[in-house]
Amino acid sequence: MIDPAGVYFTWPDRRLAYTCAGCGACCKGLGIGLDVTGGQLAQLVARRPDVVPFLRRRGEATTLWNPRDRCWFLADDGNCRVEVEDGRAAKPAACRLFPFNRVFTLGAITVVDYNSVICPLVLDGPAPIAHADVLAELATIRDPAIVGVTLPAEAGGEAMLAAERADAAALQARAATPSDAPGWLATAVGASDDEVAGVRGLLDALGLAPRPLPAATRAAALALVPSLRFNELWGPRQYAPRAVVRPRLTAMTLAWLELAAIGAALAGRDLGMQELTTLWSEQAAVTYAAACWRDVPRLKPGPLELPGSDPGGVVRALGQACVDNRKAGRTLGAIAAPILAAAAPVDRATALKLAEPLWRAALGRG
Ligand code: SF4
């Protein structure tokens, strides 16, 4: 039984909702997590022995492989045949939890995260999901591979997670009283004047004017922040060690909000949570550069890791400038702004993304 006091939910209680329209997006090619300890594998094999060749091991878990097009059990009408024929309790554990099926543990803390890419979650829709309901569902599952994938143990990791939890609560408290006053958004995400200036510096270098962030997009984005931060810290991207990335997440968030405002203006409508999540991932190299705009990049002399395509030689120029910067100690902004200014407008943002390996090597190593 998970102690509720030790759970960090990466979304605000009773704010996220979804109406399952049977799109089946969650049932396509993901593999299915089964509550093996709770007997679900034995039950499934007994009822449907043809699943046996499609079982696989994933770390400590046994999962059922399914084709990318759709799960074996997804019916043409969008319903789950396991649920329809055998009842909801027989439905694979990960499917019952979805989209709140990303459960991790670190020391005494359990993190419950969600999938905001695949599931069309909305903020403040009908029948919002309560943390207590997710906990009740988790209590029915016994397999530790489903209810607690262990995060890497490292010095300070649990304290960092506890700090993320506290920061998330503070952010949601600030977000509860939104304002259109200038600078409110920066205050809401806890950005300092330096961080604001760094983000502005990068956007200026890209020739991007600030746009207003529509209220609904802003609310959805702020609700997403804790989850995005958690995944940036403990997900696979890893621009730098966690302790180095964490202080840069606020500026990354602010840069992402600026890009979201530009996206909303481009689309002429509010952006949803799925779009905002993918925007974070797609633009991470740019927002990380924004977060490091006032840092000093340095590279050792030697072959540069360059992309196969480097229009205008912008990445090469950035890399060489980082090598030449070993003694000069200039900031990324001081180095990159003139290089970007001399580049064709279409090459500027693409170069910042292509330079991702450079950011890993030259920036934010602590
Ligand atoms: S078992 Fe049911 S809910 Fe789970 S992926 Fe297959 S069709 Fe979807």
98 CA closest ligand 1 atom index? 3
218 & 324 share domain: no
Q: Check residue 365 and give its pLDDT.
A: 63
Q: Check residue 58 and give its pLDDT.
A: 80
Task: Indicate the number of domains in the chain.
Answer: 3
pLDDT tens column, 143-177 = 988 888 899 999 999 999 999 999 999 999 999 99
**How many angstroms separate the CA atoms of 208 and 108, rounded?**
44
- For residue 25, the enclosing domain spans 4-150
Query: Would you say residue 296 lies in a domain?
Result: no
Query: Would you say residue 125 lies in a domain?
Result: yes
**Number of helices followed by number of strands (H, E) in the chain:** 17, 9
CA distances from 178 to 15, 169, 172, 280, 313 (A): 15, 15, 10, 22, 43
For ligand 1, mutation pick of 40, 54, 71 (most atoms within 8 Å of CB): 71
Q: Check residue 149 and give its pLDDT.
A: 87
Gap from CA of 79 to ligand 1 centroid (Å) = 8
For 295-360, the DSSP string reads: S-----SS-----S--GGGHHHHHHHHHHHHHHH---HHHHHHHHHHHS-HHHHHHHHHHTHHHHH
Whether the Cβ atoms of residue 32 and residue 248 lie closer than 8 Å to each other: no
Query: Would you say residue 239 lies in a domain?
Result: yes
Confidence of residue 250 (pLDDT cuts 50, 70, 90): very high
Q: Check residue 363 and give its pLDDT.
A: 87
Query: Would you say residue 322 lies in a domain?
Result: yes
169 & 58 share domain: no
108 & 239 share domain: no
**How many angstroms separate the CA atoms of 80 and 101, rounded?**
17
- Kind and range of the H or E run holding 185: helix 184-189
What does the angle CA 12 – CA 13 – CA 14 come to, to the nearest 5 degrees? Answer: 115
Whether the Cβ atoms of residue 4 and residue 130 lie closer than 8 Å to each other: no
Query: Would you say residue 265 lies in a domain?
Result: yes
Gap from CA of 107 to ligand 1 centroid (Å) = 31
Gap from CA of 168 to ligand 1 centroid (Å) = 32
Nearest alpha-carbon partner for 343 in 208, 210, 206, 209: 206
Whether the Cβ atoms of residue 47 and residue 81 lie closer than 8 Å to each other: no
167 & 265 share domain: yes
67 & 163 share domain: no
286 & 206 share domain: yes
Q: Which residues pair with 113 in a beta bridge?
A: 102
Q: Check residue 25 and give its pLDDT.
A: 84
Gap from CA of 341 to ligand 1 centroid (Å) = 51
pLDDT tens column, 256-279 = 999 999 999 999 999 999 999 999
62 & 162 share domain: no
142 & 167 share domain: no
Q: Pick from 94, 124, 150: which residue ends a domain?
A: 150
The answer, yes or no, to whether residue 211 has pLDDT greater than 80, is: yes
Q: Pick from 126, 150, 174: which residue ends a domain?
A: 150
pLDDT tens column, 346-357 = 999 999 999 999
28 & 122 share domain: yes
Q: Which residues contact 57 (CB under 8 A, 6 or more apart)?
A: 63
pLDDT tens column, 301-322 = 988 889 999 999 999 999 999 9
Alpha carbon nearest to ligand 1 atom 4, residue = 95
Q: For residues 124 and 58, which has the higher predicted lDDT (pLDDT)?
A: 124
Query: Would you say residue 305 lies in a domain?
Result: no
Q: What is the mean pLDDT of residues 122-137?
A: 95
* Protein residues whose CB sits closer than 6 Å to any atom of ligand 1: 27, 32, 71, 73-74, 80, 82, 91-92, 95
Q: Check residue 18 and give its pLDDT.
A: 86
For the chain, the average pLDDT equals 93
- The lowest-confidence range among 60-69, 217-226, 257-266 is 60-69
pLDDT tens column, 78-105 = 899 999 999 998 999 999 999 999 999 9
212 & 250 share domain: yes
Whether the Cβ atoms of residue 120 and residue 164 lie closer than 8 Å to each other: no
Q: Check residue 4 and give its pLDDT.
A: 86
Looking at the chain, the whole-number percentage of residues with pLDDT higher than 90 is 83
**How many angstroms separate the CA atoms of 44 and 90, rounded?**
8
Please give the DSSP secondary-structure letter assigned to residue 151.
P
75 CA closest ligand 1 atom index? 7
Confidence of residue 28 (pLDDT cuts 50, 70, 90): confident
Q: For residues 326 and 30, which has the higher predicted lDDT (pLDDT)?
A: 326
Q: Pick from 235, 256, 291: which residue ends a domain?
A: 291
Query: Would you say residue 303 lies in a domain?
Result: no
Query: Would you say residue 301 lies in a domain?
Result: no
Q: Over the Cα atoms of the chain, what is R_g? A: 22
277 & 173 share domain: yes
23 & 137 share domain: yes
Confidence of residue 216 (pLDDT cuts 50, 70, 90): very high
Confidence of residue 364 (pLDDT cuts 50, 70, 90): low
Gap from CA of 55 to ligand 1 centroid (Å) = 15
Q: How far is CA 123 from the centre of its chain?
A: 17
Looking at the chain, the whole-number percentage of residues with pLDDT higher than 70 is 99
Q: Check residue 266 and give its pLDDT.
A: 97
Q: What is the mean pLDDT of residues 282-300?
A: 96
